[in-house]
Structure 1
Amino acid sequence: METAILPDTMRVVDVPVPGGLEALTIVSRPMPTPKAGEVLIEVHAAGVNRADLKQRAGDYPMPPDAPTVPGLEIAGIVRAVGAGVRQPAVGDAVCALVVGGGYAEYAIAPAVQCLPLPQGCGFAEAAALPETVFTVWTALFEQAGLQPGESVLIHGGSSGIGTTAIQLAVALGSTAMATAGSPEKVRLCTDLGATLAIDYRQEDFVEKVLQATAGRGVDVVLDMVGGSYAQRNLDALASGGRICFIAGDAAPEATFNIRQIMLKRATITGSTLRHRTAEDKGRVGAVIKERVWPLIAEGAFKPVIGGDFAMDAVADAHAALEAGRSFGKLVLRMR
């Protein structure tokens, strides 16, 4: 194992007992050691995701190897590498997708899930990329098969996932439409390239989509709402279209008109990220480095940061995300 001189302990944000904001506890932990195929990253920033909120509340089905420390994406500097790791090397600046443990001063990541910082991105911006980009790529482009020239309706367009999906869809040649929950968030969606942004609190997104497409509907719907939108998504879908669910925050169960599915030859699918193998995440990471990182360098895509918080203010970050006050991604700065 190649390593730099490291402290014996580190600070982490732990959730020893699930609960409200009070469950977030900053404690000292021994410095972890990377195993074969892993690296130790000195974390400078970590992304904050709704999965972290669910984990804190005890409402998330955790993988068996996931730590109690939340945090699914980090950016920082590699300080040690385990056996067999050639890239990244000690001293490299990287961002990484992790199964947990990102809310810490140091974190372990599989080497195959590390990517170099994109050109022009600092640690805070890079920390906001892995979870959203991996999720959008696997769900929108792999599972739902969005193609250039097709159209997509993206729910939660002002969220981290939404802002990423809008920009990548447009950059790769598709037409993006989105829903959002306020005039300010609607403007953000259009600023990012959505041809239609719908305030779902004031307007019927099915009606607006059908008007915008001359009654045809969209080729793909990317949904994180769940059952309450299920039939309406189908109503807004074009013949041969695909609905991809990536969450069911409003309702985990759905009811569809089966005859309508048949007549539209619709595909209803879903995608998740955290439970995939490290090998599969590594495969996706290699594709993202080739297809998405150049878009960042060209300025065609950039992470939208709605706020950053010191590690000691982690409860404030969770409160902001929980209340829906934020847009884009929130990040924690560890240093």
Structure 2
Amino acid sequence: MHRQYIDIENPDTLSLCNDTIAAADAGEITIAVDFAGVNRADILQRLGLYPVPDDASPILGLEVAGKVAAIGPNVEGFEIGDSVAALVQGGGYATSVNARADHTLKLPANINSRSGAALPEALLTVWHNVFTLGRLKPDETLLVHGGGSGIGTMAIQMAKAWGARVVATAGGHEKCARVRSLGADLVLDYRSDTLREDFKNLALTGAIDVTLDMAGGDFTPLNFELAAPDGRIVCIGVMRGSKAEIELVPILMKRLTLTGSTLRGLGMGGRAKGFAALQETMMPLVAAGQIEPHIDTVFRLEEATAAQNRMQSGEHFGKILLDCRQT
């Protein structure tokens, strides 16, 4: 099957190329891609900072949505033409891609492929980090740093649907208002010079059960201050730096857990287990409209560089997508 895809010529140049995709292997389906999600890992890969595993495609792109175009051996539950979204081992910035069937979600009738492309990476990231590693329970309080990001907007809705209280940070008055409209109970501007005092004035110091941290850096000691006894802090990004100076005493006194993960680090089996859990717990909420993807901007496939620049600017709210449909 002929495809177009985005190739990394060098860290500053992404170009549109053509080739032929291999047939789907056992346990795989071929997806005719309508839209692909843009993720921060894609930027790191372009810059040479996110090594591609030996079993992964060197082509950018970790999530897609579209129609099933072919079905490999030993695959059940899918038919040609099904509307699906999938997490892939690279290759998403393309007009077609092979995906593991057990890393693929069938899209409900109320979710088109444009919205569907915003689901796989965010749903699985939040599920694994907030609900599996963070062990968030109903009636607990979750703090989401970067509430206006694709993952942040999804985390807020998932946690609220779970019955949790949600506190979020976002950059600027407008973003804070939009994050609040998603259902967050409290939203603070991380650009504020009085952020620590703002948390304290809202009686949040020592009140956060689970923190989903995409910031790292100087937010790490802040997370320790805000954590409740037995609090869990899960780091999934280092937007504010990969190094932090911390006091160990709060970890001892509050019995805190500091952990983190990457999706690639989950391995094939871990991702498959996560998708099975999502199909059972979260996709019914998506079908019911309780969890809704929020799209920031859609770029053409050949505009992949501009799409990544939009993400790097930090001005986006929700998911950035590539339109991979051939015209």
> How does the TM-score come out when normalised to structure 2?
0.95
Give, in angstroms, the shift of residue 219 of structure 1.
0.7
Matched, 1:12 2:5: yes
Partner of 2:110: 120
Q: Structure 2 unaligned runs (5+)?
A: none
| Matches of 2:278 and 2:222, distance apart in 1 | 32
Total equivalences in the alignment: 325
Q: One-letter code of the match for 2:5?
A: V
Matched, 1:277 2:267: yes
CA RMSD of aligned residues (A): 1.4
Give, in angstroms, the shift of residue 215 of structure 1.
4.4
Matched, 1:297 2:287: yes
Partner residue of 1:237 out of 209, 227, 230: 227
Partner residue of 2:313 out of 316, 323, 327: 323
Q: 1:206, 1:236 within 8 Å by CA — same for their partners in 2?
A: no
Partner of 2:152: 162
| Matches of 1:214 and 1:228, distance apart in 2 | 18
**Structure 1 runs, 4 residues or longer, greater than 4 Å off:** none
Partner of 2:41: 51
Give, in angstroms, the shift of residue 57 of structure 1.
1.3
Matched, 1:88 2:81: no
CA offsets per residue over residues 185-206 of structure 1, 9 Å max, x none?
1011100011111111115443
Structure 1 residues 207, 103: CA separation in 2 closer, same or farther (over 3 Å shift)?
Answer: same
Give, in angstroms, the shift of residue 325 of structure 1.
2.1
> How does the TM-score come out when normalised to structure 1?
0.93
Q: SS at the partner of 1:54?
A: helix
Give, in angstroms, the shift of residue 328 of structure 1.
0.4
| Matches of 1:229 and 1:214, distance apart in 2 | 15
Write the mapping of 1:246-285 to structure 2, written as runs, cut at 5 A: 246-285=236-275
Give, in angstroms, the shift of residue 113 of structure 1.
0.5
Q: Identity of aligned pairs, percent?
A: 39
Q: One-letter code of the match for 1:31?
A: I
Matched, 1:287 2:280: no
| Matches of 1:200 and 1:60, distance apart in 2 | 27
| Matches of 2:108 and 2:236, distance apart in 1 | 25
| Matches of 1:206 and 1:241, distance apart in 2 | 18
| Matches of 1:119 and 1:212, distance apart in 2 | 41
| Matches of 1:156 and 1:61, distance apart in 2 | 25
Q: 1:46, 1:333 within 8 Å by CA — same for their partners in 2?
A: yes
| Matches of 1:185 and 1:215, distance apart in 2 | 23
Structure 1 residues 214, 256: CA separation in 2 closer, same or farther (over 3 Å shift)?
Answer: closer
| Matches of 2:204 and 2:282, distance apart in 1 | 32
Q: Structure 1 unaligned runs (5+)?
A: 1-7
Partner residue of 2:200 out of 189, 194, 210: 210
Q: One-letter code of the match for 2:93?
A: Y
| Matches of 2:9 and 2:28, distance apart in 1 | 25
Partner residue of 1:198 out of 188, 191, 194: 188
Q: One-letter code of the match for 1:239?
A: P
Q: 1:183, 1:199 within 8 Å by CA — same for their partners in 2?
A: yes
**208-217 or 296-305: which moved more?**
208-217
| Matches of 2:171 and 2:310, distance apart in 1 | 15
